[in-house]
Amino acid sequence: MQKATRIAPSILAADFSQLGQEIQRLDQAGADYIHVDIMDGHFVPNISFGPSITKAVRPVTKKPFDVHLMISPIDLYIEAFVDAGADIITIHPEAGPHFHRTIQLIKSLGVKAGLALNPGTPVDIVDHVIDDLDLLLVMSVNPGFGGQSFIPGALGKISALRNKIDALGKDIDLEVDGGINFDTAPLAVEAGADLLVAGTATFRGGPDNYANNIKKLKGQ
């Protein structure tokens, strides 16, 4: 069943010169999760940061760290991100040869497991692993850069995954990441999403606007 809309601001759009303070501001502004985008310059054409910075900012908030790993090979780094304080680790099926094994590894370390679907990844790829998942992430842009435009074709994928989750009756978050703003957020929610990743839209206008931006993204 679709839950109330929650917002996971992507710290990729934060001011990195004061990252800890930015996360505290997001916490106080009403963020539900903190979305941590990890990019390696190999699986995606950009580099962000790794487990050491994730660990450094973990103490500044108690909000769940929603860690999205856009890296390959992936299994070697799962334990490092668990140690860094990840509450949820989301992987891409294309990032390793045996993604079910990677999901098992994540779960064995006591954190929640998510699976991310790129625009070109079919929804049926989840069918044999969905029982082990806590989160499904629809990428509504091709991963690697912030500030891209929402791909409308993602809406059909969100609806299809909502149907799969509801048929299973499991408590699985349905998250959308990419081009989420005040116009596209309600479309994603209407299609069935209940967790929205928003970078540029959350940080628009500076810290004084974070709380209002998050409320607007939630449709409040």
Binding-site sequence positions for a divalent metal cation: 35, 37, 68, 177
Q: d(Cα 175, Cα 177) in Å, to the nearest integer?
A: 7
User: Which residues, in sequence order, are bridge partners of residue 10?
Assistant: 35
124 is catalytic: no
Q: Which of 66, 87, 173, 177 is catalytic?
A: 177
27 is catalytic: no
Cα dihedral angle (157, 193, 86, 8), rounded to 10 degrees?
Answer: 120
φ/ψ of 60, rounded to 5, equals -80, -10
φ/ψ of 40, rounded to 5, equals -115, 0
Q: d(Cα 54, Cα 162) in Å, to the nearest integer?
A: 30
Strand ranges of the sheet holding 88-91, from the earlier edge strand across to the other edge = 6-9, 195-198, 173-177, 135-139, 112-117, 88-91, 65-70, 34-39
Residue type, 90: T
Q: Which of 37, 66, 87, 173 is catalytic?
A: 37
Binding-site sequence positions for substrate: 10, 68, 144-147, 177-179, 199-200
Q: What residues are labeled active site?
A: 37, 177
